[in-house]
Amino acid sequence: MNSIDPVASRYAHALFDAANAEGRADQALEQLTRIEQLMRGSPPLRELMGNPDVDPDDKAGILERVLGDPSGFVRAFIHVVVARGRAESLPDIAETFQNLVDEQQGRLRVTVRSAHPLSEDVLTRLRATLAMREGKTIELTSEVDPALLGGLHIRLDHHVIDGTVQRQLHELRERLMTVRVY
């Protein structure tokens, strides 16, 4: 997870508190996640949302059309965020909101990177081990990154477990650079 703008975090917390009070956190999360995916996946949309020359009502209207028919709750939130010149913060707001919902529901999102695809058996065992260690339900995403050479790189919230060959080679190189040869 990237560092989240504190203002975006405040918006997410405010929406979370309001959505929770009305029992609509899951509905809001679904719609915010769609906004996040659209904005992170579309540089032109991100650029448009960050453009101060585009009227805030037009920005909100575009997001409403892209979402289909957002709930009145999310529609009002979008209008507030856009009217205050924070439309480009919507992906960060969505990410923080997701984290708040996950925390409330005892869920932890984990990303596992490996040099080669991991079997379902390995992923199942890893999920069970992490669930026991963290005491939470684990939502596991697996990614392949050939640059790792071997081993696993596991990101849990703000924690990283780096058991990759790439890291081990880097540490070996660092140690060799500090050894004095007589």
Q: What is the pLDDT of residues 17-71, one digit of tens each?
A: 999 888 888 889 999 999 999 999 999 998 999 899 999 999 998 888 887 776 7
The residue among 102, 120, 142 that closes a domain is 102
CA distance 90 to 48: 13
Estimate to the nearest angstrom the gap between the alpha carbon of 147 and the chain centroid.
22
Predicted local confidence at residue 1, as pLDDT:
46
Residue 55 sits in the same domain as residue 124: no
Per-residue pLDDT reduced to its tens digit, 121-148: 999 999 999 999 999 999 999 999 988 8
88 and 21 in a single domain? The answer is yes
Q: By C-alpha distance, which of 98, 106, 160, 103 is closest to 136?
A: 106
Q: Determine, yes or no, domain membership for 94.
A: yes
Same domain, 13 and 90: yes
Per the structure, the count of domains in the chain is 2
What whole-number percentage of the chain has pLDDT above 70?
Answer: 97
Predicted pLDDT at 160? 85
- Domain identity same for 79 and 112: no
In a domain, 42, yes or no: yes
| 171 and 85 part of one domain | no
Stretch 77-95: mean pLDDT, rounded? 91
Q: Which tokens hold the place of 160?
A: 């990283």
Residues 6+ apart with CB under 8 A from 18: 73
Given 50, 85, 102, the domain boundary residue is: 102
* 81, 102, 123 - which closes a domain: 102
Q: Are residues 22 and 76 in the same domain?
A: yes
Residues 11 and 76 in one domain: yes
| Beta carbons within 10 angstroms of residue 171's beta carbon | 11
Which pLDDT does position 13 carry in this prediction? 94
Mean pLDDT (whole number) for 67-94:
87
- Mean residue pLDDT of the chain comes to 88
Is residue 48 included in any domain, yes or no? yes
21 and 95 housed in the same domain: yes
Q: Vertex 154, ends 171 and 152: CA angle to 5°?
A: 60
Given a contact cutoff of 8 angstroms between Cβ atoms, the answer to whether 15 and 28 are in contact is yes
Higher pLDDT, 87 or 159: 87
Q: Are residues 123 and 56 in the same domain?
A: no
Global pTM reads: 0.73
Answer whether residue 3 shows pLDDT above 80.
Answer: no
At 147 the pLDDT is 84
- Neighbouring CB atoms inside 10 A of 125's CB total 12
Spatial strand order of the sheet with 107-114 comes to 137-144, 107-114, 151-156, 159-164
- Please check whether residues 10 and 98 belong to one and the same domain: yes
87-108 average pLDDT score = 92
Enter the tokens of residue 70.
Answer: 């957002």
156 and 129 in one domain? Answer: yes
Q: Could you tell me if 32 and 74 lie in one domain?
A: yes
CATH for 24: 1.10.520.20
Per-residue pLDDT at 182 exceeds 80 = no
| pLDDT at residue 172, as a whole number | 83
**Side chain identity at residue 129, one-letter code:** T
**In this structure, is residue 119 part of a structural domain?**
yes
User: At what angle are helices 90-104 and 6-21 packed, to 10 degrees?
Assistant: 50
- Per the structure, the complete domain to which residue 27 belongs is given by 6-102
* Assigned domain for 1 exists: no
pLDDT of residue 178: 86
What count of Cα atoms within 13 Å lies in the side-chain half-sphere of residue 82? Answer: 23
